[in-house]
Structure 1
Amino acid sequence: MRTIRTATLADLNSITAVEAECFPPAEAATAEQFSDRLKRYADYFLLMFEDDKLVAFVDGFVTNERDLTDEMYENAALHDENGKWQMLFGVNTIPAYRRQGCAGELIERFIDIAKEQGRMGVVLTCKYRLIHYYEKFGFVNEGLTAKSTHGGAEWYQMRLYLLEE
């Protein structure tokens, strides 16, 4: 049975392990980074479990900055509970659970929460090959971003407007 809940610091090891399965070392957040994120905004992590096993999660913080920057990955203190924009830092699904709707369900729930909280929208960056995936949720490609070169990769910024600016 699959369940979804927000995170606690007790989930740190599971979150770090899933991240390591989903991203190359240069792009994966470290246990230390996740620890800091969980201490500052655990309610902005959505975790999906199959029984007791973490199989997927999404996370990101809230800010008044319009664009996602590399500094945001590194500095959880930039989280602003009253921010206008919900950032989406990571969409993680372990390989055995991919193509089963796990990520999509978490993204939709993440969007719904941002909408309920009155955020202007949701912002993420992705690699070129995933643009079409996020467009299915209503995200619009804003092009290659110079504000994120995380892990030495090229990132495209995508935005989903929930309210008019």
Structure 2
Amino acid sequence: MGYNHSWMLKTPFTKGFIEDVKECIEDYHDILVNVNMSEQEIKFDGLGEAGFETFWFRRTVGGWCKTDQRAYDEPICMILLLAIHHFGDDFTLGSSGLSQITKDMFQQYRLNDYWPEALEKVKDQFGYSFKIVQDDTHQQDTWYYVSLISGN
């Protein structure tokens, strides 16, 4: 199936979420194209080799996107972290980068691919911090997800 992210949002976008996403996307203007942001959706592609499939995040609808771990995966990870912050339990996230974690990586607070950079940038830019917590719904030791511990 390839490297991907999947999500489900059970509530409409908030003004704060939209504002944070706009600020995030502005920082990646050099690698994102076909950007469409509204109260209904966030949609964009990566420019050339920076992208893979269209990222299309719609309010109150589930979705998924294969990124092939290309450069536009970093702002996608950031947007998904912003959704965790703004929507809490109304937002569910799955990601190849969060499910292929070894026990050693978990204990050292390390993640795959663009997740470490996204966590750091969201913390620096927005002040939102996250904690890596083991997902007890899976029987394997390698399944983890990111959950919010604090934010502004």
* TM superposition score category, shorter chain reference: 0.3 to 0.5
Report 1 or 2 for greater relative contact order, CA contacts < 8 Å, sequence distance ≥ 6: 2
User: TM-score normalised to the size of structure 1?
Assistant: 0.35
